[in-house]
Amino acid sequence: MIAENLKQVLSELPEEVRLVAVSKFHPNEAIEEAYHAGQRIFGESKVQEMTSKYESLPKDIEWHFIGHLQTNKIKFIVPYVALIHGIDSYKLLTEVNKQAAKINKTVHCLLQLHIAREETKFGFSFEECREMLASGEWKELKNIQICGLMGMATNTDNVEQIKAEFCSLSSFFQEIKSTWFANEESFREISMGMSHDYHEAIAAGSTLIRVGSKIFGERRY
């Protein structure tokens, strides 16, 4: 069933959009089934769970950390994480840089923007992100690479609201790209869209969608 679900989702994606299969709370067997069906990018939101899976699953899996990251946990994932989606403060960015420098690695990161009308979601406001980038201090962080932006829309049935939130992130991406990353080919990712709204996200310019339940079924808490 997982392989069939995966094939269905992949068949709906334009060439420029990559799928992050959200495997959090699902067992290794589920990941292995998706892996054998060809999926290589998996997303986790808990450091301990991600580390455990990394150690026991094939080493060509590309692990993306998609949850809220605590500074004291960064050192555990830096050695193998391919992309951190949820950088929501300058403090977090500096800590990733510090831990990456210790092992002489450059870690790819996305800045998380708060685009939803929900206080429970994390992220920079557009103005906070502008101020952080304008300060220029991040340019001194040699062991991180900012590769784009991430955002989560409001959990609502109002499709027009979801579209507007995704479009706001896409427009902000263009602003940030032209202002601070015009010559950076690596700044190209917009991570937005989940199982219930990835079609709207793709229409708004997403390059990475994070899909879990539509592939693996409902999570096992």
pLDDT in tens, 57-109: 999 999 999 999 999 999 999 999 999 999 999 999 999 999 999 999 999 99
pLDDT bin (cut points 50, 70, 90) of residue 179 is very high
Cα separation, 65 vs 208, in Å, equals 13
Is 77:58 a contact under the CB 8 Å cutoff?
A: no
User: What are the backbone angles phi and psi of residue 106, rounded to the nearest 5°?
Assistant: -105, 125
**Cα 190 from Cα 84, distance rounded (Å):** 13
Using 50, 70 and 90 to split pLDDT, how confident is the model at 119? confident
Continuous segment of H or E residues that includes residue 3: helix 2-11
Asked if 194 and 208 count as a contact pair (C-beta separation under 8 A), the reply is no
What pLDDT band is residue 221 in, cutting at 50, 70 and 90? very low
Residue 120 pLDDT more than 80?
no
Q: 48 is written with which tokens?
A: 């301990």
β-pairing, 189-191 vs 62-65, is: unpaired
pTM score? 0.95
Closest CA to 152 of 117, 202, 127, 188: 117
pLDDT in tens, 189-217: 999 999 999 999 999 999 999 999 999 98
Residues 86, 45: Cα–Cα separation, whole Å = 10
Tokens, residue 60 = 């060509």
- 3-state class of 50 per DSSP? helix
Q: What is the pLDDT of residue 122?
A: 84
Mean pLDDT within 164-183: 97
Contacts of 47 (CB under 8 A, 6+ apart): 65, 69, 70, 73, 76, 77
Instruction: State the Cα–Cα distance between residues 47 and 34, nearest whole angstrom.
Output: 21
Distance, CA of 169 to CA of 104 (rounded, Å):
32
**Cα–Cα distance for residue pair 121/14, rounded to 1 Å:** 28
Residues 6+ apart with CB under 8 A from 7: 37
The DSSP result for 136-170, as a single string, is: -GGGG-TTEEEEEEEE---SSS-HHHHHHHHHHHH
> Looking at domain 2-216, what is its CATH homologous superfamily?
Alanine racemase (3.20.20.10)
- Residues 3-34 have pLDDT tens digits of 999 999 999 999 999 999 999 999 999 999 99
Of 162, 187, 161, 215, nearest to 41 by C-alpha is 215
